[in-house]
Amino acid sequence: MAKEKLTEQQKLEKRKIHRTPTFLFRFMSRLSKFLYYKKCGVSYTYNIDLKPFRGKPYVVVSNHASRLDHAFTAPAFYPDTFNFVVGYNEFFRSHLAFLMRALQVIPKKNFVPYPYAVKQITRVIKQGGRIIIMPEGMSSISGANQPCAVGSGQLFKFLGVPVLYTKISGGYLTSTKYCLDERPGRVDVVVDQLFTPEQLKTMTADEIQAELDRKLWHDDYEWNKTARARYDGHGELAKNLHQLLFRCPKCGGMLCMESAGNTIRCKVCGNEATLNEYYDLIPKDKTCVIPDTPRVWFDEQRAQIRNMVAEDGFLLAEHVKIGMLPKYGYLKHGATSEIVGEGTLVLDREGIHYDGTKNGAPFSFSIGILQLPTYGMCTDVSRFYTFYQGDFIEFYPERESAELWMMATEEMHRLCGGAWKDFPEKALV
């Protein structure tokens, strides 16, 4: 009897991760520095001496400013080598798959328990290796941090090795979530120590988690009020910005913003602003109501969504297409999933509910709101994903509403007593 062919997911989860190959990692680290150091204006400031850590097991964490953070972080610790922890779905993209496996990158299913990742991280540390992980789980949406994923404090306490960190400033402004275009300007990277093994022993997991959030907090827009770094957006600094800032601060309309070039405006009331090379928001005239920065706009928008989901009978519904990872082979042409069906997605106090099709057959599922702190976003803010029964499912909404879905789900999770909390009243700012 012929042996059944393993799927790509089965192959991935059968792997035993070893320390990354020294030559290949150092080559890629030097290549990253060559590609980005001068182009993006990267500079490094060291608040600690790295010599005592050389060649020993330790963990590096960073604020997850952008998709370029690994390229900014790894060269800071050269010649030490690391195993990266990266989103599970990235292993199925054809232009990344081979390199991910060659570098012994550890896959992690974001925002859901995934014992495989913890097991492999522990394995590398016990082998005398080192880990680079972004504990937020996803690159910044708004230019400022999300809180670290639930369980991050418990993981570092369990590992019991030194935890160093990089604080990246300017990374988001160089490579925003809402637009895939790179905008060279300036990136400052500060290197320091976060925890000693002795501190990890005496602190609780919750205390470690809180300190992670405190130390990694950063707002690129606020930073650039002082730094005044210029970013070259080629006249397209506001491109796709309306997908992130979807609520008009003047008339209160939802999903009514449009953006092009350096301008964002409301299609209903004409409220308008321009982004300059410093990412300053400049109102068109005195009648316009424009928040101080895009991050402030984002948080004001969140406050309205929080009030909205708290109303009795709240329900968000939309027609979506769904995508999944290929069973065999890899995704091509920049795709993040294969479209396999369509139907209606609903969010209420119980959770999210999908009712539609998959591969031409009826398909439905629900995920409880306490098990769904947030979604992931593979690339930009046009779609979002989660995991159901271990399977990656990506949602393509009919409207440009991905960020509305994300905010509403996050705030519903918190309203119902979920474990993933926001920064307390933004007191860390």
Task: Give the CATH number, domain containing residue 408.
Answer: 2.30.29.30
Residue 234, domain member (yes or no): no
Report the DSSP beta bridge partners of residue 46: 191
Position 428 pLDDT exceeds 50: no
Check if the beta carbon of residue 130 is closer than 8 Å to that of residue 73: no
For residue 9, give both structure tokens.
Answer: 């997911």
Using alpha carbons only, give the angle 198, 200, 206 rounded to the nearest 5 degrees.
155
246's enclosing H/E stretch is none
Write the CA distances from 347 to 234, 254, 372, 393, integer angstroms.
38, 17, 11, 16
For residue 288, give both structure tokens.
Answer: 């316009």
Q: What is the mean pLDDT of residues 400-418?
A: 97
The end-to-end CA distance of the chain, in Å, is: 63
Same domain membership, residue 220 and residue 154:
yes
Residue 77, domain member (yes or no): yes
- The string of pLDDT tens digits covering residues 378-408 is 888 999 999 999 999 999 999 999 999 999 9
Check if the beta carbon of residue 377 is closer than 8 Å to that of residue 385: yes
- The string of pLDDT tens digits covering residues 332-352 is 988 999 999 999 999 999 999
Residue 232, domain member (yes or no): no
Position 424 pLDDT exceeds 80: no
Check if the beta carbon of residue 259 is closer than 8 Å to that of residue 208: no
| pLDDT score at 391 | 96
Same domain membership, residue 177 and residue 81:
yes
Residue 248, domain member (yes or no): yes
Q: What is the mean pLDDT of residues 228-239?
A: 97
Among 280, 310, 340, the domain boundary falls at: 310
Position 422 pLDDT exceeds 60: yes
Average pLDDT, the chain: 95
Domains: count for the chain: 3
CA torsion, points 343, 345, 346, 352, in degrees to nearest 10? 130
Check if the beta carbon of residue 304 is closer than 8 Å to that of residue 403: no
Residue 428, domain member (yes or no): no
Position 95 pLDDT exceeds 90: no
Residue 2, domain member (yes or no): no
For residue 115, give both structure tokens.
Answer: 């014992």
At 426, is the pLDDT very low, low, confident or very high (cuts 50, 70, 90)? low
Peptide bond into 147 cis (omega under 30): no
Query: Closest Cα partner for 425 from 302, 286, 287, 278?
Result: 302
Position 1 pLDDT exceeds 70: no
Check if the beta carbon of residue 377 is closer than 8 Å to that of residue 383: yes
Same domain membership, residue 272 and residue 126:
no
Same domain membership, residue 127 and residue 270:
no
For residue 191, give both structure tokens.
Answer: 């290197």
Query: Closest Cα partner for 176 from 206, 200, 144, 204?
Result: 144
Same domain membership, residue 166 and residue 19:
yes
Same domain membership, residue 158 and residue 61:
yes
Position 58 pLDDT exceeds 70: yes
Same domain membership, residue 394 and residue 262:
no
Cα–Cα distance between 189 and 165 in angstroms, integer?
A: 10
pLDDT > 70 in the chain, percent: 98
Among 286, 310, 334, the domain boundary falls at: 310
Cα–Cα distance between 125 and 130 in angstroms, integer?
A: 6
Residue 25, classed as helix, strand or coil, is helix
Residue 269, domain member (yes or no): yes
Among 204, 227, 250, the domain boundary falls at: 227
Same domain membership, residue 356 and residue 298:
no
Q: What is the mean pLDDT of residues 342-366?
A: 98
Residue 323, domain member (yes or no): yes
Same domain membership, residue 377 and residue 263:
no
Q: What is the mean pLDDT of residues 143-161?
A: 96
At 308, is the pLDDT very low, low, confident or very high (cuts 50, 70, 90)? very high
Which residue type is seen at 217? W
| pLDDT score at 354 | 98
| pLDDT score at 274 | 98
Cα–Cα distance between 281 and 264 in angstroms, integer?
A: 9
Domain that holds residue 353: 316-420
| pLDDT score at 379 | 82
| pLDDT score at 429 | 45
3-state helix, strand, coil in the chain (%, to 5): 30, 25, 45
Same domain membership, residue 17 and residue 90:
yes
Same domain membership, residue 247 and residue 128:
no
Q: What is the mean pLDDT of residues 102-106?
A: 97
Cα–Cα distance between 257 and 339 in angstroms, integer?
A: 27
347's enclosing H/E stretch is strand 338-348
Position 85 pLDDT exceeds 90: yes
Position 4 pLDDT exceeds 80: no
| pLDDT score at 2 | 59
Beta strands in 7-152 (DSSP E): 42-46, 59-62, 83-87, 106-108, 131-133
Same domain membership, residue 253 and residue 372:
no
